[in-house]
Amino acid sequence: MIDKIVPSLEAALADVRDGATVLVGGFGGAGVPGELVDALIAQGAKDLVIVNNNAGNAEFGVAALLKAGRVRKIVCSYPRAADSQVFDALYRAGKVELELVPQGTLSERMRAAGAGIAAFFTPTGYGTDLAKGKETRLIDGRGCVLEHALPGDVALIKAERGDRWGNLVYRKSARNFGPTMASAAKCTIAQVYEIVELGALDPEWIVTPGIYVTRVVKVQRSQRTEKAA
Amino acid sequence: MSYAKLTREQIAQRIAQDIPEGTYVNLGIGMPTLVANYLPRDREILLHSENGILGMGPAPAAGQADMDLINAGKEPVTLLTGGAYFHHTDSFAMMRGGHLDICVMGAFQVAAGGDLANWHTGAKDAIPAVGGAMDLAVGAKNVWVMMEHLTKSGESKIVARCTYPLTGIGVVKRIYTDLAVIDVTPRGLVASRLVPGLSFDELQRVTGVPLLPSGARAAA
């Protein structure tokens, strides 16, 4: 019997190793797997490469992970925010490495990783500072940049509900990076608010099929998660 | 002769009036967001948000905010009847794959050939952040820029060559400023809809690159 449901956040994260590349879902406050990130801090893995759209807000989520000194490098599109002070200070002190990637390229690099595409050419970023040092090619008269797949060792994502096979559905714009990250990591861990019986999710509406999901862990809805960036 | 610059709201009104029925549109963070307030109600225009929304509606009523439903600026929004949610890679495929009819973005500078600089001042101590700007710049069918014509110190933001780091090369089709509308064409930059009281010669004098007059000078 396949049962991807794990009893606790601790159990879900037990094998995350130092130096792992961790894809963390969320955009702004929506879709952030706050409980999983908190549990990763408690778990203690360090020297991590974090892939997220942002670089943390206030002192929650990725910002808390940064503050705890666990992050060697962050790969993101938009680190700057009114409340990104934790990242800002570490970056200015040279204590965290930044790989800045256009948002669509960030997402597509993870899609490529999940789809077995080693690299791809895209016009995004051509002729800009973000293409420096990258291979370029004119394709059909258009300048393109070679971008490599971005696989994760682990993906931490948030979905609304899931079943024991790992099928997931999301809620509104909290879906954001979840489905792509789920496909791009060797081990995908989804936190959900509700676990349902097999068959309860309409197969026409399943957004992430369970093949992409390694573990599902239930968390309680809380004000904090809703507000956490 | 004296003239009054357009306010941001007036520029937004102009842009909104120029967005045709039935189009898919992305409004950038910051000033372009104002355009949403002036879209003609008798047109069906679908707003796209990079975080996975088509058919984005206005801000929710007080107390109705749902933090799972936010826009690219991370503010709560609503969904129009018929709107859709999708994941990030699909959302950016819409942008990068040429499916959006128009995007409106702010800019630090636009070069005469349509080069866009709007993501980074290049200042050494600035934290660089690009978001979806480069994807929109190369992907939308029409890239419109909304910006003040001059910097605070009075320099033209329309330049021969961008000195700020580029977002995209040759991507801008039209620039809406507080003084005029300027189309980037193969012939060069064509100025139209100058604010009342502003002569073409005066506009040319404050603009860093040669302009061509347009036949039509419709009122705002």
Using the Cα atoms of residue A163, residue A164, residue A167 and residue A173 in order, give the sign of their dihedral.
positive
pLDDT at A225 over 80: no
Predicted local distance difference test score (pLDDT) of residue A76: 98
Model pLDDT, residue A209: 98
Q: Does B123 touch chain A (CB under 8 A)?
A: no
Span A145-160, average pLDDT: 98
Residue range B86-117, pLDDT digits in tens: 999 999 999 999 999 999 999 999 999 999 99
Q: A181 vs A223, which has greater pLDDT?
A: A181
Least Cα distance to A122 among B64, A130, B182 occurs for A130
Q: In this model, does residue A183 exceed pLDDT 80? A: yes
Q: Where are the alpha helices (DSSP H) in A2-84?
A: 9-13, 34-43, 61-67
Considering only CB atoms, which chain B residues are within 8 Å of A80? 127-129
Closest CA to A99 of A123, A133, A69, A67: A133
Q: Is the pLDDT of residue A157 over 90?
A: yes
Pairwise CB contact (< 8 Å): B167 & A126: no
Task: Please say if the pLDDT value at position A229 is more than 70.
Answer: no
Interface with B, mutate which of A128, A170, A226 (most B CBs under 10 A)? A128
Q: Complex ipTM, two decimals?
A: 0.94
Question: With an 8 Å Cβ cutoff, is B85 touching chain A?
Answer: yes
Picking from B66, B92, B166, the nearest residue to A128 by CB comes out as: B166
* pLDDT band of A227, cuts 50, 70, 90: very low
- Answer for the pair B145, B175: CB distance below 8 angstroms, yes or no: yes
Q: Which DSSP state fits A54?
A: B
Which residues of chain B, if any, have pLDDT below 50? 216-220
- Say what the alpha-carbon torsion angle A14, A180, B143, B71 is, to the nearest 10 degrees: -60
CA distance B151 to A214: 53
Tokens of B202: 């005066």
The answer to whether A181 and A157 have CB atoms below 8 angstroms apart is yes
Chain B residue closest in CA terms to A28: B74
Segment A3-46, tens digit of pLDDT: 999 999 999 999 999 999 999 999 989 999 999 999 999 999 99
Q: B206 φ, ψ to 5°?
A: -90, -5
pLDDT of A120 over the 60 cut? yes
Q: Tell me the per-residue pLDDT of A49-101, one tens digit each, with 9 for 90 and over.
A: 999 999 998 998 999 999 999 999 999 999 998 899 999 999 999 999 999 99
Cβ separation of B51 and A105 shorter than 8 Å?
no
CB contact under 8 A, B135 and A227: no
**Residue contacts between A and B (CB atoms, under 8 Å):** 136
**Whether B50 is catalytic:** yes
Q: Indicate the pLDDT class of residue A223, thresholds 50, 70 and 90.
A: low
What value does the mean pLDDT take over residues A208-221? 97
**Measured between beta carbons, which residues in chain B are less than 8 angstroms from residue A170?**
85
